[in-house]
Chain A
Amino acid sequence: MAVPTLFKALQASPLGSTISQSTWMFPTIETVHVVAVATVIGTIAMVDLRLLGVSAKARPASALIHEFLPWTWGAFALALVSGGLLFSSRAADYMALPYFVAKFGIMAVAAVFLFKVPPTTEKHIAGWDLGKPATGARVAGALSLLLWTAIVICGRRVGFSL
C-alpha cells in the first residue's frame, strides 16, 4: 500500500471516522493534547532555563533534571497518543500540510535532545552543578527552547490550515 493510501485508509477507518463524525470527540481529545503539550513544554522549559543559567541557580541542575524529566516523558507520551487520535480523524489532509510535516521534523530533533541532553549534561555536570552552566549546557538549553517554540507555532498553524 502506498503511503498516501495508508493515510486515506486511516482517515476512513472506524477510529478515524468515529472521531471526525463526532461533535465532541475532537475538541475533547484536543483538550487533553493541549494539557499534555503544556506539561511537556512547561517542564522542559524549567530544565532549559536552568541549563541556560536563567532560573533556579541555587538548585543543583542534576536534581532539577531528575524532578522534571519524568513528567516531561509522561506528558510527551500522552501528547503522542492524543495527537495520534487527532491525526487519525483527517490523516491524509494533515499530511498535505507543510506546517504539519515541519512540526514532526522539528519534533524529531527535539526528541533527540530529550534523549541526549540529560545524560550528557550529567556526565559533565560535576564542574558546575551549583554554579554557572557550561557553554555546552547553555547552548543545548537555548536550542531546546527554540525547538519547542517552533513546534508550538507549527502546531497552531496546523489548526488554522484545515
Chain B
Amino acid sequence: MNAFLNAVGETPLSQLLQNVRWLIPLIQSTHILALSLVFVSAVVVDLRILGVAGRNQTLPSLTARFLPWVGWGVLVLLATGLLLMVAEPRRALLNPFFQLKMAALVVVGLMTWTIATRATDRGWSESEGRGLAKTMAVSSLVLWLAIIALGRWIAYGP
C-alpha cells in the first residue's frame, strides 16, 4: 500500500497537480459545482417521495427530470475526485473520513438506482411499497448530507 501511494504521488500527473498552485482549488470548485447539482436533484426526488415538495407532479416525471443530473453529476464528481486523489494519495486513501465517504457513496448509489428503476412501477411509493420508498428517501437525504460533511472533514482527518 505504501509503495503504491508513493508511486501514485510520483507520477507526472500527481507532480503537475501538486506544483501548479491554482489547479487543486479549481478542481475542487468544479467538484463543488457538480455536487450542488447532484445534491439538489437528489433532494428534489427524496422530498417528493416523502410528500414534502412537488406534490403537483408525479414521481416518475421528477425522476426522469432530475436523476440524469445525479448520474452525470456523479461522473464529474468521480473524475474531479480522482484527480484530487492522484494529487494527494495519502491525504485521501488513508483518511477514515474519505473511506467512510466512499462507503456512503456506494450505498446511496445503490438506493438511487433502486429509486430510479422502481419509480415507474405503479404502486411503488404510493401504496404497498410506500414504507420502503420513504425509508429510502430519508436514508438518501441523510447519506448525501453525510457525504458532504465527510468530504469537508477529509481536510481535518488524522
How many cross-chain pairs have Cβ atoms below 8 Å apart between A and B? 69
The listed residue (B37, B65, B145, B152) touching A42 by CB distance below 8 A is B37
19 A-B interface contacts by CB (under 8 A): A27-B153, A31-B148, A35-B149, A37-B32, A37-B36, A38-B35, A38-B39, A38-B148, A42-B37, A42-B39, A43-B40, A45-B37, A46-B40, A59-B65, A71-B40, A153-B26, A156-B28, A157-B25, A160-B21
Are A27 and B152 interface neighbours, CB within 8 A? Answer: yes
Nearest-neighbour CB distance to chain B for A89, whole angstroms, equals 14
Task: Give the chain A neighbours of B53 by CB distance below 8 A.
Answer: 67
Task: Give the chain A neighbours of B41 by CB distance below 8 A.
Answer: 42
Tell me if B58 is interfacial: C-beta within 8 Å of chain A. Answer: no
B residues contacting A by CB (< 8 A) are 21-22, 24-26, 28-29, 32-33, 35-41, 43, 53-54, 65, 145, 148-149, 151-153, 155-156
Are A152 and B156 interface neighbours, CB within 8 A? Answer: no
Nearest-neighbour CB distance to chain B for A76, whole angstroms, equals 13
Interface residues of A in 12-54 (CB under 8 A from B): 27, 30-31, 34-35, 37-43, 45-46
Are A156 and B40 interface neighbours, CB within 8 A? Answer: no
A residues contacting B by CB (< 8 A) are 27, 30-31, 34-35, 37-43, 45-46, 55-56, 59, 67, 71, 149, 152-153, 156-157, 159-160
Task: Give the chain A neighbours of B149 by CB distance below 8 A.
Answer: 31, 35
Task: Give the chain B neighbours of A157 by CB distance below 8 A.
Answer: 22, 25
Are A42 and B25 interface neighbours, CB within 8 A? Answer: no
A149 to B33, CA, bound (A): 7
Known contacts A42-B37, A45-B36; A31/B152 CB under 8 A: yes
Known contacts A153-B26, A156-B25; A41/B153 CB under 8 A: no
Are B29 and A42 interface neighbours, CB within 8 A? Answer: no
A144 to B151, CA, bound (A): 26
Interface centre among B29, B54, B155 (most CB of A within 10 A): B29
Are A153 and B39 interface neighbours, CB within 8 A? Answer: no
Nearest-neighbour CB distance to chain A for B104, whole angstroms, equals 14
Task: Give the chain B neighbours of A149 by CB distance below 8 A.
Answer: 29, 33
